[in-house]
């Protein structure tokens, strides 16, 4: 079995985790069943939609440009990694609520786990995504990109994602929730917009010189 297929199966297994937790919560806290059902279905629905979109388009969007994936295997890996982290982001608060409902932990601890560790995991996804970014994006021949310049931009965008993810995770570990929420949101927004601005600027010919 190839590593990519193993990762895909692991992602599918991880997506089952929120489904199991949500089903248990429907029994112990039926008053909020609609919320648990939504948490159970959102990831499978998203996975199916993304899978069909990748098949139909064969491209991935980065920074407002349609940039082909270097290898279809990379696309499957990226989707699988995203699904694993998304599963954790949903499963952690569900597990905390279930433990609270069963009397295993007190509500304040459940709130802390659901809020803080969910966001720490989200920051970790940004770090791993930033690490993979230079390996996924490739120069487009029809944009007449200078390969060295494009590689520099890719690495710069990756480092921005890594630093933003690390800062976001540390903020949620160290700061009170009332401060972590606005500051963390600002860090993530900046981390998303900065690479986008770099890639858009290059696409418009503002950075580097295209080769003819």
Say if residue 127's pLDDT is above 60: yes
Phi, psi dihedral angles at 18 (to 5 degrees): -60, -30
3-state secondary structure of 140: coil
The 10s digit of each residue's pLDDT in 57-109 is 554 444 333 344 445 566 677 778 888 888 898 999 999 999 999 989 898 88
User: When comparing pLDDT for 166 and 135, which is higher?
Assistant: 166
Contact 162, 131 (CB under 8 A): yes
The SS3 call for residue 62 is strand
12-44 residues labelled b (16+ CB within 10 A) or e (exposed): eebbebbbebbebbbeeeeeeeeebeebbeebe
Is a pLDDT exceeding 80 seen at residue 116? yes
* C-alpha to C-alpha distance for 48 and 20, rounded to whole angstroms: 19
Averaged pLDDT, 19-26? 93
Task: Please compute, for residue 73, the number of CA atoms within 13 A of its CA located in the half-sphere on the CB side.
Answer: 7
The 3 state secondary structure assigned to 153-168 is HHHHHHHHHHHHHHHH
Q: For position 56, what pLDDT does the model report?
A: 56
pLDDT at 63: 39
Q: How confident is the model at residue 183 (pLDDT cuts 50, 70, 90)?
A: very high
Phi, psi of 176 (to 5 degrees): -60, 155
């Amino acid at each position: 079995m190839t590593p990519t297929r193993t990762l895909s199966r692991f992602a599918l297994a991880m997506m089952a985790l929120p489904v199991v937790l949500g089903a248990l919560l429907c029994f112990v806290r039926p008053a909020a069943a609609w919320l648990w059902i939504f948490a159970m279905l959102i990831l499978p629905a998203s996975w199916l939609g993304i899978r069909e979109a990748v098949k139909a388009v064969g491209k991935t969007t980065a920074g407002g440009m349609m940039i082909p994936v270097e290898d279809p295997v990379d696309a499957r890996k990226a989707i699988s990694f995203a699904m694993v982290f998304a599963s954790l982001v949903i499963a952690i608060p569900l597990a905390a609520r279930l433990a609270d409902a069963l009397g295993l932990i007190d509500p304040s601890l459940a709130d802390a786990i659901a809020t803080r560790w969910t966001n720490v995991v989200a920051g970790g996804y940004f770090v791993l995504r930033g690490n993979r970014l230079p390996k996924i994006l490739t120069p487009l021949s029809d944009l007449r990109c200078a390969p060295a310049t494009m590689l520099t931009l890719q690495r710069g965008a990756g480092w921005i994602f890594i630093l933003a993810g690390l800062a976001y995770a540390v903020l949620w570990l160290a700061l009170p929730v009332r401060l972590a929420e606005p500051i963390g949101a600002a860090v993530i927004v900046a981390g998303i917009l900065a690479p986008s601005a770099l890639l858009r600027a290059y696409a418009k010919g503002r950075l580097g010189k295209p080769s003819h």
